[in-house]
Structure 1
Amino acid sequence: MLLEMRHRPENNNAGNGSSPSSQNADTSFAQQSFAHPTFTDIGMKLKACNDTLGDLQQLGVSHVAALPELVLVGDQSAGKSSLMSGLARVNLPRNAGVGTRCPLHIRLIGSNNAHWSCTVSLQQDYDYQPPPGGKIKRSDVTNANPFPPWVKQSHRETKMFKTIFDPAEIEEVLRWAQVAILNHNRSHELFIPGEGAVAKEMELADAARETQAQFSPNIVALEIKGPGLPDLSFYDLPGVFLSPDQEEDEYVVKVVRNLTRDYIRREKAIIMWALPMNADPENSISLGIIREAKAADRTIGIMTKADKLAAENESQWLAMFRGEKQSVGHGFFATSRPPEESLDQAAKWEELFFTREVGSWPGDFANYANRCGVELLREYISVQLGEAFSRSLPSIKTKVYHRLRAIEQQLTGLPELPPNVEHEVKKSLYQFLGRMKTTVKDTDFSSQWNTLNDQFQACIIKMKPTCRVKDPDLQTIDLSDADTEASAVTPSKRPRPNDSTIRATPSKRQRPEAAAMTTPVKQEDFAMTGMMRASSVSSSMQHGTQSPFVRYFNLGRLAMDIKDIRSEIMRKKRPGMPRDLVPDEVREAMCLDAVKKWEGPLETYISKTAELLEKVSNQALEESLGVLRRRMIFKECQSHLRQFLDQAVASQRGRLSEMYDSETYQLYMMNEDAFTRYKAQEMDQLTRARAIHRLKAVALVKWDYQIKKPEDMSEEEKHEERKILNNQLPKIGRDPYDTEIEVAGFVRGYYMTAATRFVERVTMDVNSSLFRTIGDSGLDVFMDQKLGVFGRAGKLSPYHIIKIHYYGTCTLT
């Protein structure tokens, strides 16, 4: 199609005959000239024109030469999704469609091949650069910065996403492609359904909620090939709207309008303006943008949802068909595609609707039957696009030619490659890969990671469920691990009874009704097996760092209450069971509730580990390839390194998630010795606190008696406390809540057993899996696959030598 255009010399000697040779020359010239009548039917060769146009659009050369293009715009809920599915002859997502958060480019190619295929790719013209605080305000959207936090790149990057051969897969693939394009700074391969680590581990809905960006001007592109498809390409833009769901997304309103305005202003664009017939066209936001851009002459009006037309509004829409209202250059078409129908059924229904065999299409519109239906619209826009391209082809060729000459001049100005470029590049790469192998084993990294492990461990310990040992009629004692020092018992504010009276008649003393009163009692520190060490609780302070887990410390505070434990036992107990016999499901449910709180700390742990890895990896890259920082090799290595780490961390996150799921699935323990030891320690603390609480309630222990940690007590103080408890407890009889205390001790004992196991498993798996992947040859293989620098007898290709070493600072697009 890109034939060379030449000026045809005028023949002043019209009367002279032409020689055969000159006639042949004229014939040859005519075959190369767009002005010759031979080319007058070029607009009919729609397939060739539209195929070539589609190729140019995918190459992203619009910054060199303006290309004719079809752009579908409209307000939210204008029926664009159903219209787009009809034009593309494929069931695309509707309602919460893929086009809501980024533009979509659909290219249809008719093929003689019986097989249908769809290749999805990401066309990235913008780089994601969020502000330091991450928050974007409406005022940040300006003429100079129309799509914050997206910044225009010097050239387009096209990343292949996935090719599918079953139309039923298109919705899932498109939705994941949108998630990938909204996570610009992560590898798109993580989000490929059925292949990527994130797509395997996360639900699509969760991934869509957790994207880096809320909106992107970058494009998700579809190239659909199949028999019977029209040769057509068009853009579908997100619907413009007035207000977002969340106040913090107000800026998106302006960004979407700017995007629509940007496409409409393109001088070669043919605008397809969708407006529903169940709404007032005067209220169309898109129409205002079209008029502002003075693009009405280039606009095709498409009335959607014709089956929703109210009888009282018929005259208004007839006036638009006649060009009397909201006039546009290409006039109006009407369509009706019920979203609940399948593709084939919707097409049949639409045909019957406009022939008035079904539905209630008014007879007054019969004069416009040649403009009703998606099929007729598709034929019209295909012809319009082909003709526009044929008219633009000479100027496009001229602009591309001039751009090519400018690039060639840039290339001639580049310095010659030195003779040792291959050695220099490969030496730096080998140094980088070698440094990465030792990074996860060196002292500095190990120290930082050990600090993180200690902080994670300390967090899990601090989250142990505390118990409110509150006698319903008396005060409250709160067993809390959150304090760093033993807390004094808070004196009661009620009148203190006479000690002698109470000691004289303890059995007749009725426990007074009083408000609950919380008395913190510090849990004793005790020896821990495995990784559990008493020093871990304060490890973050020892290393002089603030623990990233602080917000989780109090998740276990007051998680149990002896009254609630009793209620749960009574609710689950079968008739006739003894009072002190506790159903197994009560213990299991309470134990699992305690460990389910680990999900947040676990996510923080793997995220902080990933940050640490990224930090030391970038440092290794800088130390090894810093001299090539301005070259393409540095940027490529940085990108591939981030992609490798993303994949490795995502895989590790999946493994840790499985560990968490196994801990929260059911109560399980094999190390009964450790459980027995932990439970005994917890029971000692609970029964001691409960005993002091009961004795204070009946004034057999002074109200100002301070409960200290055992390690803070002298032997004399311990002996005196044991003496008081041994002498006074028999006077008040059996604790009515001894069963509930035992259940609380069981839960806390199991928690410590499971916590020891969980922290050990998590940290060991990260070390033996994630770090091992980096320390072994995994990164070497990955880099070789991406860069191809160590294959074929260790030779770098000339392409990589040039691109890696010298073209890093030259824009060749």
Structure 2
Amino acid sequence: MHNGGIGDSQVIADLQGSSGAVSESTIGKTSTLSPSLLAFAYPEAGGTPDIPLHDNMSAQSDTAMDVLSKPVKELMKTVDKLRDLGVETSHISLPQAVTIGDQSAGKSSLIEALSGIKVPRSSGTCTRCPLQIITAPSTDAPWHCTITLVKKYSFYEAIGIDDNDTGPYGPWVEDSLPHTMVFAETHTQDHLDHLLRRAQLATLNPGDNPVKYLQATVLDNLPIKVEFSPNVIRLDIAGPGLASLSFFDLPGVINQTEDVNKPWLVKVVKNMAREYVRNQSSLILLACSMEGDLANSTASSLVRKIPGAVDRCIGVLTKPDRLPTGDPLSAWYSVLAGGTFAVGHGYFVTKQPSQNQLDVGMTHDQARQAENNYFSREPWTTTFSLFEERFGTRQLQAALSQKLTRQIQQSLPTIEVQLAARIRAVEAELSQYPEPPNNAYGRIIEALNNFATHVKHSPDSDDDDGYDFSDELRRLEETFKLQLKSLRPGLLTASPKTHKPSTPSSTFIKRDPESEIVELSSGDEIETPSKTFSSKKRKLEDSISLSRANSPLAMRQFNTPQRRGAVTNGAHGTPSREQFTLAGIKRTLERRSRSNIPKEVDPRAVDYLRRCAIGGWSAVMKVYLDGVSTVLNAKLQSQLTRTCTQWQETEFYRECTKIVSDVAATFKHEQMAHGASMFRLESEMVFTLSDAIDEYQQRELKDLMAGRYLARIKEHFKEADPDKDPLNQAELKKKAQDQKLRLEPGADPFQTEVEVMSRVRGYYAVASARFLDNIVHRVRVDIADHCRHRVHKQLQIGLEIGAENAHEHCSRLLAENPDRERKRAQLKKERANLVQAQQQLALLAV
């Protein structure tokens, strides 16, 4: 700072000569408190506690705190309770202390010094929403902090910040009443900054469950939905040696943002500061760095533009050790003396630890001692000796506590009058919203019982509606059954050397020498009754699936049973079945065998192929369960409409609709979890105790050998006469009856692979039937349970039928105009809070 070249000594002499000794502004005025409140606020025979600001604070500051400890603590506690009750939404201003400053003005260090806590300083933590810090001394308990989320605003993304009809925070709209939630508690100071980061993330992600951020294992990669929030994080801190303070720390005032596409964020932050500063009961703590020019302080400029705000200001000069070389001391003397950039309560100077000192573990007490040492040398003991009572954090704490106490004392009479006036206004408005009929509870009970009776018999009902419900479930079950059958693995029966597929998927067979099984193809596959798609359609779908899977990554992933079933056909979104080749089976048996005997089949290799065959079950199961939950929801909603027709325009019906939807969603979630568990069992172990598997395997072997023989006959004639057109299916079957011809191809070199495939398909028949029964059986049992018990119980719980205020709640639910009912409830809640606020003030006199 510069002062036109005038000498320091001359300026100082002029200031001393004109004003004499510089003293603190007198702000304690005659109170209009009721006698009981007046006696409490000024215990010394009604007088104002006189705390001198020129004491040797290192020795006497604790004594100063003790003088005010009880009244300060109780007064601040009462104000905070009034704030929690939402009296500010009733246009009643509450006294508060507010800390503002530019970014990089040392405000975070100042907050740490005032509160005795360590706040996180990384981007996106403590600077993006208001932080209320309440400290109180505790002589019989260890240090403790409770973190509370105070939600006063809801976020509506569709609202733009620049819309002319929006509030100061654009997408943030003020709620009718605040909502508080205890987020976390800790007895360890070192844990506080970590918990505060989590609370900040919860606040910057509106709509999310805050518990998500309390339980997250990693914070650095978590996104944030909004850059700033007007909702408050409150810290209630109690511990030995703490001062009685309560103040808000606001985000640093900015002139530009890191994201050039979001210039409106500057407006949000400045509006936040203006709202707190504009409150006529606010005591403003203005932090300004001495390494810059006060004339360039954005926060200072903002305060001076609000009428009366500068008179409520306590200036705090930070970073005195960074005073630019050559900066005349006279300029800062003028500031401290109130000659330039004057504020109502004068300036204090604090010196906080450097980041290096904090990194090496400097404690709060060590920082205060270092601060005292810093101000015990020049120029603070010489040039600025007149202002020694304003140097140091402890001096600032004492002054802030004293001034805030007086601010509260002066505001209490006005708050009493405003509370009484607002209660009268609310009661007058409530008279325009008479209560609904008293029989609403009985009507709702009757409607719910009728609904429960109809739903209970739905699965077994003989009426048309019951038949439709059961028919829909049976159709879904049959589709599920057919889809499982359609996924039964196929076998390409042609010999590897002569087989030439007719679709583009033929290139896929050669795609990777490491492949054990060719996933999908077309060609000479034995026909089975379970095929549900035409050959032409399957060829097209298989070609599409293979082209999508033709990347190296997809090829590698396909070698696992889990990925194998993930290939879907384009038309239905359900998996296509596995297609095995003889060569692929042969490679699998060779590579997965641990036997030292040639051509011996290792059971583990067979089990691997069996697991590959069931990969698509999970997807078709999900399709089935999706359908069941949809049918259940439709059935419940239909019955709800049927039994509650007369209430369709009420909040009761809308709540019932939502609860019924939630029941269906919960049912789906439970069935999905059970299905996933069943699929995991099938995937992890090949298992059955059923003797029927032998019969299935023999049947499959017979079919596969017949198909394989037809393929070999075709290959035999093609090899004998390459120029002759291949035999059609009818000719092949005719020649297959020739007993002499059956001996010509000789022994099948792939007999082992055919036998293995019969074991795979035989096991598939047994396991798929078991999987189908497990899933459908659970669905049928749980649907019956939901219809007979759970849906009715959830409606009673969701509608709060058993609550103490059930009659009142039912009246609101059945109101013809939900807006009127919500308004009545809002007014009644406000009145109850205002009455409770009056009671809190009355307790001060006790």
State the TM bucket, normalised to the shorter chain.
0.5 to 0.7
Partner amino acid, structure 2, of 1:775: V
Distance of aligned partners of 1:184 and 1:29 in 2 relative to their CA distance in 1, 3 Å threshold? closer
Match of 2:411 among 363, 382, 392: 392
1:51 matched to 2:77? The reply is yes
Please give the secondary structure, in 1, of the residue aligned with 2:88: coil
Contact 1:70 1:233 in 2 (8 A): yes
- Does the aligned pair in 2 maintain the 1:773–1:779 contact within 8 Å? no
Q: What SS does structure 1 have at the residue aligned with 2:173?
A: strand
Gaps of 5+ in 2: 1-29, 52-67, 459-464, 508-517, 535-567, 831-846
Q: Does residue 156 of the first structure (1) align with residue 169 of the second (2)?
A: no
Q: Which amino acid aligns with 1:55?
A: K
The size of the alignment, in residue pairs, is 703
Cα drift, residue 56 of structure 1: 2.0
Q: Give me the identity figure in percent.
A: 20
Taking structure 1 as the reference length, what is the TM-score of the superposition?
A: 0.59
- For the 8 Å contact 1:123–1:156, the answer to whether it is kept is no
> Tell me, what secondary structure is at the counterpart of 2:428?
helix
Mapping 1:56-67, distance limit 5 Å: 56-63=82-89, 64-67=91-94
The corresponding residue for 1:232 is 245
1:302-381 residue pairs with structure 2 within 5 A?
A: 329=343, 333-336=350-353, 346-348=363-365, 350-351=367-368, 354=371, 378-381=397-400
Distance 1:239 1:676 in 2: 77
Judge conservation of contact 1:264–1:290 (CA < 8 Å) in 2: yes
Q: 1:404 aligns with which of 398, 404, 423?
A: 423
Residues 1:777 and 2:799 are matched in the alignment: no
The within-5 A match list for 1:40-439 is: 40-41=48-49, 45-63=71-89, 64-71=91-98, 95=122, 103-110=130-137, 114=141, 123-127=150-154, 129=156, 131=158, 144=166, 147=169, 149-153=171-175, 155-161=176-182, 217-224=230-237, 229-236=242-249, 259=272, 262-263=275-276, 265-270=278-283, 329=343, 333-336=350-353, 346-348=363-365, 350-351=367-368, 354=371, 378-415=397-434, 421-432=437-448, 435=451, 438-439=454-455
2:711 & 2:103 partners in 1: Cα distance? Answer: 65
1:142–1:328: structure 2 CA closer, same or farther, 3 Å change rule? farther
- Shift in Å at residue 126 of structure 1? 3.6
Q: Tell me: CA distance 1:122–1:29, structure 2 relative to 1, closer, same or farther (3 Å).
A: closer
Distance 2:371 2:676 in 1: 58
Partners of 2:491 and 2:579 within 8 A in 1: yes
Task: Kindly indicate whether the alpha-carbon contact (under 8 Å) linking 1:436 and 1:617 is maintained by their aligned counterparts in 2.
Answer: no
AA in 2 matched with 1:388: Q
TM-score normalised over the length of structure 2: 0.57
Letter aligned with residue 152 of structure 1 = E
1:683–1:742 contact (8 Å) kept in structure 2? yes
Using a 3 Å threshold, how does the CA distance of structure 1 residues 312 and 113 change in structure 2: closer, same or farther? closer
Q: Note closer, same or farther for the CA distance 1:407–1:178 as it changes in structure 2 (3 Å cut).
A: same
Once the two structures are superposed, residues 293-312 of structure 1 have per-residue CA deviations (whole angstroms, 9 ceiling, x without a partner) of 787776667799x79x9x89
Aligned ranges 1:636-647 → 2 under 5 Å: none
State the 1:55 CA deviation: 1.7
Distance in 1 between residues matched to 2:258 and 2:711, nearest whole Å = 56
The DSSP-based 3-state class of the residue aligned with 1:152 is strand
Report if aligned partners of 1:334, 1:371 keep a CA contact under 8 Å in 2. no
Q: Structure 1 residues 339, 464: CA separation in 2 closer, same or farther (over 3 Å shift)?
A: farther
Paired residues of 2:257 and 2:263 also in contact (CA < 8 A) = yes
- The 1:596–1:438 alpha-carbon spacing in structure 2 relative to 1, beyond 3 Å, is same
Give the equivalent residue in structure 1 for 2:547.
none
Q: 1:78: Cα distance to partner?
A: 8.8
Please say if residues 437 and 776 of structure 1, whose CA atoms lie closer than 8 Å, have aligned partners that are also in contact: no
Matches within 5 A, 1:432-581: 432=448, 435=451, 438-439=454-455, 442=458, 443=465, 446=469, 450=473, 457=480, 489=503, 519-520=521-522, 556=575, 576=596, 581=601
Amino acid at match of 1:53: V
Structure 1 position 236, deviation (Å): 4.8
2:716–2:745: 8 Å Cα contact kept in structure 1?
Answer: no
Secondary structure of 1:151's counterpart equals strand
Pick which of 428-437 and 169-178 moved more.
169-178
Contact 1:121 1:220 in 2 (8 A): yes
Q: Which amino acid aligns with 1:233?
A: S
Letter in 1 for 2:244: D
Q: Cα distance, 1:156 vs. partner?
A: 0.6
- Summarize the alignment of residues 719-758 of structure 1 with structure 2, pairs less than 5 Å apart: 719=733, 733-734=749-750, 752=768, 756=772
Matched AA of 1:431: A
1:399 Cα offset (Å): 3.2
Distance 1:324 1:164, change over 3 A: closer
Per the alignment, do residues 554 and 570 of structure 1 end up closer, same or farther by CA in structure 2, a change over 3 Å counting? farther
- For residues 70-111 of structure 1, the C-alpha deviation after alignment (integer angstroms, 9 at most, x for no partner) is 445678999888876765556777758775776554444555
CA distance in 2, matches of 1:687, 1:238: 79
Q: 1:570 to 1:399 in 2, by over 3 A?
A: farther
**Alignment partner of 2:74: what SS?**
helix
CA distance in 1, matches of 2:587, 2:377: 69
- SS of 1:144's equivalent in the other structure is coil
* Amino acid in structure 1 at the alignment position of 2:82: L
Q: What SS does structure 2 have at the residue aligned with 1:777?
A: helix
Q: Is the 8 A contact 2:482 2:530 kept in 1?
A: no
Question: Residues of 1 paired with 2:613 and 2:289: CA distance?
Answer: 51
The C-alpha deviation readout for 1:566-624, integer Å capped at 9, x for no partner, is 88877766595756655849956994997599599869968994997599579949975
Paired with 2:329 and 2:571, the residues of 1 have a C-alpha distance of 65
Q: CA RMSD in A?
A: 7.3
Distance 1:303 1:586 in 2: 80
For residues 312-336 of structure 1, give each alpha carbon's deviation from its aligned partner in whole angstroms, at most 9, with x where no partner exists: 9788999998788997955664434
The residue number in structure 2 matching 1:668 is 685
Distance in 2, matches of 1:694 and 1:42, equals 111
Contact 1:264–1:271 (Cα < 8 Å) also in 2: yes
Q: What residue identity is the alignment partner of 1:232?
A: L
> Would the alpha carbon gap of residues 405 and 650 (structure 1) be closer, same or farther in structure 2, given more than 3 Å must change?
same
Moved more, 335-344 or 665-674: 335-344
Unaligned regions of 5+ residues in structure 1, if any? 9-26, 193-197, 478-487, 494-515, 535-548, 708-712, 791-795
After TM superposition, the structure 1 stretch with the greater mean CA deviation from structure 2, 429-438 or 403-412, is 429-438
Measured at CA, do residues 273 and 262 of structure 1 come closer, stay the same or move farther in structure 2, by a change above 3 Å?
Answer: same
Alpha-carbon distance between aligned partners in 2 of 1:312 and 1:590, rounded to the nearest angstrom: 79
Kindly indicate whether residue 803 of structure 2 is the aligned counterpart of residue 787 of structure 1.
yes
Rounded Cα–Cα distance in structure 1 between residues aligned with 2:486 and 2:103: 47
When residues 451 and 338 of structure 1 are mapped into structure 2, their CA distance, relative to the original with a 3 A threshold, is farther
Quick one: which amino acid aligns to residue 48 of structure 1? E
Deviations for 1:141-168, whole angstroms, at most 9, x for unmatched residues? 6661555654333x21435556857559
Secondary structure, counterpart of 2:94 in structure 1: coil
- Report Cα offsets for 1:46-82 as digits up to 9, x if no partner: 2233222212221222231233334456789998888
Contact persistence 2:125–2:197 (CA under 8 A): yes
Does the C-alpha gap of structure 1 residues 78 and 750 become closer, same or farther in structure 2, counting only changes over 3 Å? farther
Secondary structure of the structure 2 residue equivalent to 1:46:
helix
**SS at 2:684 equivalent:** coil
CA contact 2:201–2:213 (8 Å) conserved in 1: no
Alignment of 1:5-20 (within 5 A): none
Contact 2:147 2:183 in 1 (8 A): yes
How far apart, CA to CA, are the structure 1 residues paired with 2:700 and 2:626? 30
